[in-house]
Amino acid sequence: MTIETDVFSRLTTFPGLTALVGTRCYPVRLPQNPILPAVSFFKVSNPRVFSHDGDSSLQHPRYQFSSWAETYAEAWVVAEQIRLAMQGEWGAGIGIYRNAVDLFDTEAEWYHIPVDIEIWHY
């Protein structure tokens, strides 16, 4: 199993998040005309840990998980469930919450809360 598969599985099976978005979790971008609220995610970076012996196989990619909703309050409720789903020990890794900010997509008129999580895994 890859970390991407593990991330997707975690998002689509975490009870607090699935109660809000069901399985509307999409890699990289939302589909055209999505049902909201929804989540998209992508890998921002993928640093690896090296030792004197070379590559240790330990990685700590940073992912951006985006909460999309029609209201500000709903966007933050979904963002909080993303944080709860992804932080701490789960599956193949350990998630570390890094940041979340307020954004608004003026073209679509949706609220967007990007949540940055670093995931340490082998």
At residue 49, the 3 state secondary structure works out as strand
Give the pLDDT means over successive 10-residue stretches in the chain (122 positions).
88 97 96 97 88 81 96 98 94 89 96 96 82
CATH code linked to domain 3-96+103-121? 3.30.2000.10
Site of tokens 């069901």: 22
CA separation for the pair 87, 42 (Å, rounded): 16
Sorted by where each begins, the domain ranges of the chain are: 3-96+103-121
Which ranges in 22-89 belong to alpha helices (H)? 72-86
pLDDT at 49: 80
C-alpha angle 96-115-4 in degrees, rounded to nearest 5 = 70
What local confidence, expressed as pLDDT, does residue 44 receive?
96
Q: Cα–Cα distances in Å, from 104 out to 28, 52, 58, 71?
A: 18, 46, 35, 10
